[in-house]
């Protein structure tokens, strides 16, 4: 065997290796490869791993979520469907984890469905359980986690910004997001519609001289016993939102009478002599920047017993109107108007009755 190997070596040396050394490098490389393959074959022959354990090993548990019956249930309710814009509305959120799995990183975003409104601020009002951390961060409600079978009630105050004063219906939704065993769950829930209360402003003023200085009244000022003094009364209303069936009324005390002079820009004006009530009615009050107004003249003749006193010229002033969107009546009561002329810049404070 050794002679055979020597013979082959000498033969290849004479034929190949002396002429080109790369033949030697190639043969040595092939020999090394053959040796490594033989060693690998022998190793694999004697190595018999327990493949049955690998094959039968259970796969990692994969959580199957039924989106029709999610582990975490959200319930939303509002304290009232109508509210004043500046006061905000209270929203109650009830979280119920009816599963056997912990829900973590719970986040709730409140989103208006159109550009007429936007969320300006959220305030945390009440959280029933102090053991469950609840916070508001950048208009987002965050709850750290909710254990299996656990409930949590949360109250928040939601403030809106109205970007279109003609629109008073708020359509909105809640975006819910939480994590269950590493899986992210997202849902959208449509919330009950909200309605902004229409805002009604009313004013009653009495003048002898107008704000521009024009003399509207006549007769002695301050008033004198037994002598007539005439004044002008103005009712004014303004609204943000629409109203129906507005009524503005007041009562004339004894000694004060209504003349036939008036300035009516809207609605109907009437006087009930038996009840001594002046009544101004407007069937429909539109959302407008300008105000509605009526003016009328009254005449006052002081009696002897009113000497050195300030007399009421118009009392029991009230204004009310129906908001059909929220099905509510707005009611405003105003202060009595007197001879003191509180709104008259020129004659304010000249209300004490004198003797002639």
- Domain membership of residue 353 (yes or no) is no
Residue 60 included in any domain: no
pLDDT of residue 256 exceeding 80, the answer is yes
The number of angstroms, rounded, from the C-alpha of 218 to the middle of its chain's C-alpha atoms is 53
Query: Is-contact 335 89, C-beta < 8 A?
Result: no
103 within a domain of the structure (yes/no): yes
Q: Return the minimum-mean-pLDDT range out of 120-134, 179-193, 223-237, 311-325.
A: 120-134
Tell me how many domains the chain contains: 3
Within this chain, do residues 136 and 186 fall inside the same structural domain, yes or no?
Answer: yes
CA dist., res. 341 & res. 232, Å (int): 11
Q: Are residues 244 and 292 in the same domain?
A: yes
Instruction: Give the residue from 196, 221, 252 where a domain finishes.
Output: 196
Question: Same domain for 184 and 291?
Answer: no
Report if residue 90 sits inside a domain: yes
pLDDT at 313 over 70: yes
User: Can you tell me which residue has the tokens 């290849």?
Assistant: 12
Q: What is the mean pLDDT of residues 57-85?
A: 75
In a domain, 67, yes or no: no
Task: Give yes or no: residues 192 and 216 share one domain.
Answer: no
The C-alpha atoms of residue 340 and residue 96 are separated, in whole angstroms, by: 64
351 within a domain of the structure (yes/no): no
DSSP at 17: I
220 and 187 in a single domain? The answer is no
User: Residue 80 maps to which CATH number?
Assistant: 2.60.40.740
Residue 248 is part of which domain span? Answer: 199-338
Mean pLDDT of the chain: 86
Last residue of a domain, one of 196, 214, 233: 196
User: 227 and 321 share a domain?
Assistant: yes
Q: Does residue 114 carry a pLDDT above 80?
A: yes
In a domain, 348, yes or no: no
Q: Do 216 and 333 share a domain, yes or no?
A: yes
Model pTM?
0.68
**CA atoms of 250 and 258, how far apart (whole Å):** 12
Residue 13 confidence (pLDDT) above 70: no
**For the domain that residue 290 is a member of, what is the CATH number?**
2.60.40.1170
Q: Is the domain of 205 the same as that of 318?
A: yes
Residues 265, 169 share a domain: no
Query: Which pLDDT value is given to residue 89?
Result: 92
Q: Which residue reads 């190595």 in tokens?
A: 47
Distance set, CA 115 to CA 22, 54, 110, 139, 288 (Å): 81, 59, 14, 17, 21
How is residue 215 annotated by DSSP?
B
Q: Is residue 47 part of a domain?
A: no
Last-in-domain residue among 155, 181, 196: 196
Tell me, rounded to whole angstroms, the distance of Cα 228 from its chain centroid. 56
Do both 276 and 321 map to the same domain? yes
As given in the structure block, the two tokens for residue 279 are 């009544």
């Amino acid at each position: 065997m050794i002679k055979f190997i020597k013979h082959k070596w000498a033969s290849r040396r004479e034929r190949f290796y002396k002429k080109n050394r790369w033949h030697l490098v190639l043969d040595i490389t092939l020999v090394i490869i053959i040796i490594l393959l033989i060693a690998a074959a022998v190793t694999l022959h004697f190595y018999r791993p327990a493949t049955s354990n690998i094959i039968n090993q259970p796969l990692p548990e994969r959580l199957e979520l039924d989106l029709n019956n999610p582990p975490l249930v959200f319930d939303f309710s509002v304290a009232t469907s109508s509210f004043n814009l500046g006061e905000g509305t209270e929203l109650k959120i009830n979280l119920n984890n009816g599963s056997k799995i912990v829900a973590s990183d719970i986040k709730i975003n409140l989103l208006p469905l159109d550009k007429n409104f936007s969320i300006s601020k959220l305030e945390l009002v009440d959280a029933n359980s102090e053991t469950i951390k609840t916070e508001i961060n950048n208009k987002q409600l965050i709850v750290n986690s909710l254990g299996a079978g656990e409930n949590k009630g949360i109250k928040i105050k939601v403030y809106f910004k109205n970007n279109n004063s003609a629109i008073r219906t708020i359509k909105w939704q809640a975006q819910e997001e939480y994590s269950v065993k590493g899986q992210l769950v997202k849902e959208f829930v449509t919330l009950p519609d909200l309605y902004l209360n229409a805002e009604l402003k009313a004013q009653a003023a009495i003048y002898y001289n107008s704000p521009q200085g024009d003399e509207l009244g006549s007769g002695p000022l301050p008033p004198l016993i037994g002598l007539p003094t005439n004044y002008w009364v103005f009712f004014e209303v303004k609204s943000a939102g629409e109203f129906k069936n507005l009524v503005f009324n007041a009562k004339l005390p004894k000694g004060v009478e209504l003349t036939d002079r008036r300035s009516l820009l809207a609605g109907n004006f009437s006087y009930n002599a038996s009840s001594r009530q002046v009544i101004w009615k407007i069937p429909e009050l539109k959302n407008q920047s300008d105000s509605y107004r009526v003016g009328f003249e009254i005449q006052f003749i002081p009696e002897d017993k009113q000497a050195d006193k300030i007399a009421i010229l118009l009392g029991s002033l009230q204004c009310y109107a129906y908001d059909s969107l929220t099905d509510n009546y707005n009611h405003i009561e105003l202060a009595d108007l007197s001879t003191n002329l509180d709104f008259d810049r020129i004659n304010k404070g000249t209300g004490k009755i004198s003797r002639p």
